[in-house]
Every structure is written in C-alpha cells, then in structure tokens.
C-alpha cells in the first residue's frame, strides 16, 4: 500500500509542478518520470531512475500479484537497473527499499519544484 501511495503522491505533485512550469507531459506516472530523467542534471538523474523503478514495482504489485512480468521488467529497464530480475520472480522489498524510494520521490519533486531546464 505504501508503494502505491508513493506513486500516487509523485504523480499528482509532479503533474501539478510540470503544469506550473508549463511543461507538457504524459498523463501516466512513468511518462512524467521519464521526462524528468531527460531534464534533470546528471547529479540528480538517480532520483528519476528511482521513481521509474518505484513505478515498475508498483505495477508488479498491483497488476501482477507481486511477480515480475515481461511488461514490468521492460518498464524497469528505463531505470538503468544493473541486474534485472527474471520473469516470474516474486517481488521482494524491505523497509530500506521503501526509504530509498521515498528519498527518490522527495528529491525528484524538489528538483522539479526548483524549475527544469530544457533537455
């Protein structure tokens, strides 16, 4: 539940911030995160990649009964994850993961709030 809530918070707040900056974006959370990844400076791209990873995890939980599927792994590749899980592998998360994803969302939203440069 916390994972899904983090994605909803990111989606709503990032959407509002992008609209405030008059930047058109995809209506889906993954589209927003990919847009941010393309516009963030190199030292902040980790935050956008963390959000993309979070979204793919959320999708695996909500749509695939917490099992990695071909679709969720394809989403995960956009986060530049070094080692991808195998299709059919059960998803495993710990409290440290939750804090890491929360940090990614917070940093991404702060970076977006500070204004974005063109890609």
Average pLDDT over the chain reads 90
The domain ranges of the chain are: 2-113
Backbone angles phi, psi at 90, to 5 degrees: -65, 145
DSSP class of 40: S
Its sign, for the CA torsion 7, 98, 54, 61, is negative
Q: DSSP string spanning 47-106?
A: HHHHHHHHHHHHHHHHHHTTB--HHHHHHHHTTT-SSPPPTTPBP---HHHHHHHHHHHH
pLDDT > 90 fraction of the chain, expressed in percent and rounded: 58
- Count how many Cα atoms sit within 13 Å of the Cα of residue 26 in the half-sphere of its side chain: 9
pLDDT value for 78: 86
* Confidence class for position 117, pLDDT limits 50, 70, 90: low
pLDDT at 118 over 60: no
**Per residue in 26-63, pLDDT tens?**
888 888 898 898 889 899 999 999 999 999 999 999 99
Tell me the sheet residues that pair with 90.
67
pLDDT value for 1: 78
pLDDT value for 102: 95
d(CA 27, CA 70): 22
* Confidence class for position 95, pLDDT limits 50, 70, 90: very high
Spatial CB neighbours of 107, under 8 Å, sequence gap ≥ 6 = 44, 47, 50
Report the predicted TM-score, pTM, of the whole model to 2 decimal places: 0.89
């Amino acid at each position: 539940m916390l994972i899904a809530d983090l994605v909803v918070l990111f989606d709503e707040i990032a959407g509002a911030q992008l609209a405030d900056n008059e930047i058109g974006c995809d209506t889906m959370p993954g589209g927003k995160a990919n847009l941010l990844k393309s516009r963030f400076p190199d030292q902040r791209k980790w935050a956008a990649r963390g959000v993309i990873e979070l979204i793919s995890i959320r999708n695996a939980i909500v749509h695939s009964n917490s099992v990695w599927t071909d679709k969720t792994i394809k989403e995960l590749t956009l986060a530049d994850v070094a080692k991808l899980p195998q299709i059919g592998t059960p998803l495993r998360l710990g409290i440290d993961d939750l804090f890491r994803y929360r940090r990614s969302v917070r940093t991404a939203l702060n970076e977006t709030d500070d204004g974005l440069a063109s890609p």
